[in-house]
A and B are shown apart, each in its own frame.
Chain A
């Protein structure tokens, strides 16, 4: 297995979506290839840091304003629907 093969499998490796044999081959490559080891670790960190980043949290006041607007429109639709029924 070379570095290019390793990279092609990286996503499945990180997602634990590979069979045991391929996993063993990838881990064997990681033992001697420092570059792939670093890429694997920093890619994993990239995913974790975005997952934990809390980017674009919905503020509470906006959240209730949006929900009220949505529910008011749904009520309206329901009313029109039942009048037409």
Chain B
């Protein structure tokens, strides 16, 4: 996909490291680990919702990338390729832990008209003013954990990690319309769920 290599500077820098690592320079690979380990950990923990699994995913994803470096075609960013490996590892662990629930990125999760907001209320004051940092983190974690994994994964790659729609589609092996449709529903469902914590309170409402 030609649209992916937009930022020339970091891409060429990354490619230099990848090529050096391919040629046997292990410190170049270590630099790639340093560059992306935080992102891989965050993605893995969002998908697996389990700290130990996320640690394993980080190790296995980088090891798999190292072993298969020769097969990396350099047509996309190394990071996108790495994310694809990490997402697959994370989903595998999630399936193992929850065999009773089918976990697939292809699932079309249909809830009754989930794009139509049920409650419309402005958020005021700002959520940051309403809760402490710790409380806010708990609310955000609990809320995103309630999303179906196929929506959660798209939201995390696109909106938390900042991958483009094309990169997200490539990393998840989904079509662009599928990414957009999941992203819209993920965003609206998160908004709806956060609404109960953040909506403007009428005088006399007790703080939950």
Contacts and interface: CB of A to CB of B under 8 A. Distances in A.
Interface in B158-177: 159-160, 162, 165
Dominant secondary structure of chain B at its interface with chain A: helix
Given A51-B160, A53-B137, A62-B55, A67 B188 contact: no
Given A10-B184, A12-B180, A70-B63, A46 B191 contact: yes
A45 B121 CA distance: 13
A35 interface: yes
B63 A50 contact: no
Contacts of A69: 59
Given A7-B116, A38-B120, A67 B34 contact: yes
A66 interface: yes
B159 A47 contact: yes
A67 B37 contact: yes
A71 B121 CA distance: 50
A57 B54 CA distance: 12
A71 B38 contact: no
Interface in A1-41: 4, 7-8, 10-12, 14-15, 17, 35, 38-39, 41
Interface residues of B, number: 49
Contact of A50 (B26, B41, B121, B190): B190
A7 B188 contact: yes
B46 interface: yes
Contacts of A77: 63, 66-67
Nearest to B29: A74
A39 B191 CA distance: 8
A70 B33 contact: yes
Contact of B184 (A11, A55, A62): A11
Interface in B22-48: 24, 26, 29-30, 33-34, 37-38, 41-42, 45-46
B187 A43 contact: yes
A4 B121 CA distance: 18
B159 to A, nearest CB: 5
B121 to A, nearest CB: 7
Interface string B66-92: 110000000000000000000000000
25 contacts: A7-B116, A11-B180, A11-B183, A35-B117, A38-B121, A39-B120, A42-B123, A42-B194, A42-B195, A43-B188, A46-B191, A49-B127, A55-B46, A55-B137, A55-B140, A55-B144, A56-B42, A56-B45, A56-B54, A57-B38, A58-B41, A67-B30, A67-B34, A77-B67, A78-B24
Nearest first, the 8 closest Cβ-Cβ pairs linking A and B are: A56-B45, A11-B184, A58-B41, A46-B191, A56-B42, A35-B120, A70-B62, A43-B191
